[in-house]
Amino acid sequence: MSALSRGRSWALAASSLSILCFAAAGCQDIDWDFERMHWRWDWWNKPSRRPIRPSRQARGERRPRAMPVEPEARPEQPAATAGKQPEYRPASLAAPSGFYQLVLLSERGPAAGSGGTKHIRLKNVSAEAASKALAWLYVPIGRPGQETRRTLIYESPDLWEAATSFAPKLDVPVIDQPPQRLPIDPEKSFAQGIGLLSYVYRMNPARPADLAKLEHVEGLLNVTATSNAADPGLRWAAALVAGRIRADVQFDFEGAQRFLLIAQGYAPPGSVEEMMALFARAEAYRQDGQPDKAKPLYQQIVSQFGNYRESDTYRRAQREMQAD
């Protein structure tokens, strides 16, 4: 190639480079920022960044309630009598959280609770079985836990105290077979009925399958419920548990109403126990598809048991009254 040809080639290259400079950067220094280009060589080493959604608490939605604290000391309430109801005690004044916990333990753990929490150590029966029966008697808003530790949560201090007082009566020896003869002693028949019920639930916690043993449980509880020698509170509990077995397990709602009426008759007027019996009757009618019979009972709870308006039972009765 001649010198003239080489000169023309260099001139053409220089002209092309000048045009590129003016078009792309005005003949200034060009910063080749490879990090901004799409064809990065290390794309497999750097994961993409996704926006993180703020948590519910950060957005101020549904903040959890505080844990319970110790309720204020109050004098003992007299037994409820006809025409006189116990004084209304707002849970919001007794415990700012409004929650009271009853912890049943059939395992190692603290023997005493603190604040709005009480612990009961069980020696014979599992926490699962005892909490199931206790939840039938004094309905909580929840029963979280496991086989050896169950926590019954209440919003009413009256239900919490009543459940705490009755729980030790459910700590009875577990029996796997019914007695050959029904005992005459009402306390013994109650203990054996609860002990056999605990065994049935231990075999199948989700849903008892041994209906034959449940029949024996009802027979034992019936001895207590119909005995004039038994304490009225024990008769109430025996009849209520038998009624809940009929309704919730056997779906014999007519038989359940017979037991639940007996329980209602043993409860002092205006007491927590009477409200629990009325609620169990209303729930049995509702489950049986008879809302016309259930609503008058819900109405009776709302109109006569305002002292327990902090309880979930009272509010559920209100909701059922407002339902179509």
Residues 226 and 294 in one domain: no
Q: In what order do the strands lie in the sheet with 149-154?
A: 117-121, 100-105, 149-154, 145-146
Residues 274 and 296 in one domain: yes
Last residue of a domain, one of 169, 202, 222: 169
Residues 243 and 217 in one domain: yes
**CA pair distance 95, 256, nearest whole angstrom:** 36
| Pairing between β-strand 149-154 and β-strand 117-121 as defined by DSSP bridges | unpaired
**CA pair distance 17, 179, nearest whole angstrom:** 107
Residues 162 and 198 in one domain: no
Domain annotation covers residue 80: no
Count of structural domains within the chain: 3
Tokens of 88: 């209304």
- Is residue 311 within 8 A of residue 156, CB to CB? The reply is yes
Domain annotation covers residue 308: yes
Domain annotation covers residue 99: yes
Predicted TM-score (pTM) of this structure = 0.70
Residues 109 and 161 in one domain: yes
- Is residue 70 within 8 A of residue 118, CB to CB? The reply is no
Residues 101 and 145 in one domain: yes
Domain annotation covers residue 199: yes
Domain annotation covers residue 83: no
Predicted confidence pLDDT, tens digits, the chain (324 residues): 444 444 444 444 444 444 333 333 443 333 333 333 333 333 333 333 333 333 333 333 332 332 232 223 333 333 333 334 445 444 444 454 568 999 999 987 666 666 789 999 999 999 999 999 999 999 999 999 998 999 999 999 999 999 999 999 999 999 999 999 999 999 999 999 999 999 988 766 666 667 889 999 999 999 999 999 999 999 999 999 999 999 998 999 999 999 999 999 999 999 999 999 999 999 999 999 999 999 999 999 999 999 999 999 999 999 998 876
Domain that holds residue 163: 91-169
Residues 213 and 279 in one domain: no
